[in-house]
């Protein structure tokens, strides 16, 4: 997996979690984050723990992550975040190598352009998440 693909996968997966990863979590926020799926939340925390210190040293990437956290559905913010992740991964082949197996283990995450299906059971889109497949109509607010 190259830096471009890894950045795309990371950005797609982390986007719905960024509001919860960037700000200190209150109990209510923790419960909202956990609604996105316990396994997915755990994976997001693992990835964020590996990325956070690197992101803090790159002001443009930090700002891009904060913009996505403020507006997860903003396509321009997502694109800026993805681009900055790609640049960071291209500059740091060790980090790229470290993250590849974690993201590969998440192969059940499929970016659909309108959100991310996590294990085919949870679809995150427009502040809602859907339990079931993409044809499911059962929606719950975060």
The C-alpha R_g of the chain, in whole angstroms, comes to 14
Q: Is 61's pLDDT higher than 90?
A: yes
Query: What sign does the CA torsion over 40, 46, 50, 53 have?
Result: positive
Confidence category of residue 42, pLDDT binned at 50, 70, 90 = confident
For residues 88-115, average pLDDT: 74
Integer CA distances (angstroms), 28 to 25, 69, 112, in order = 8, 17, 28
For residue 34, pLDDT beyond 50: yes
């Amino acid at each position: 997996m190259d830096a471009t693909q890894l950045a795309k996968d990371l950005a797609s997966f982390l986007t719905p979690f960024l509001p919860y990863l960037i700000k200190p979590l209150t109990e209510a926020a923790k419960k909202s984050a956990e609604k996105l799926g316990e396994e997915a939340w755990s994976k997001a925390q693992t990835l964020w723990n590996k990325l956070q210190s690197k992101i803090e040293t790159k002001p443009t990437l930090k700002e891009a992550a904060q913009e996505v956290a403020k507006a997860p559905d903003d396509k321009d913010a997502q694109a800026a975040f993805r681009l900055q992740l790609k640049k960071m991964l291209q500059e740091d082949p060790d980090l790229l190598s470290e993250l590849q197996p974690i993201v590969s283990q998440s192969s059940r995450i499929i970016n659909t352009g309108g959100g991310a299906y996590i294990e085919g059971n949870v679809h995150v889109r427009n502040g809602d998440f859907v339990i079931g497949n993409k044809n499911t109509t059962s929606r719950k607010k975060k």
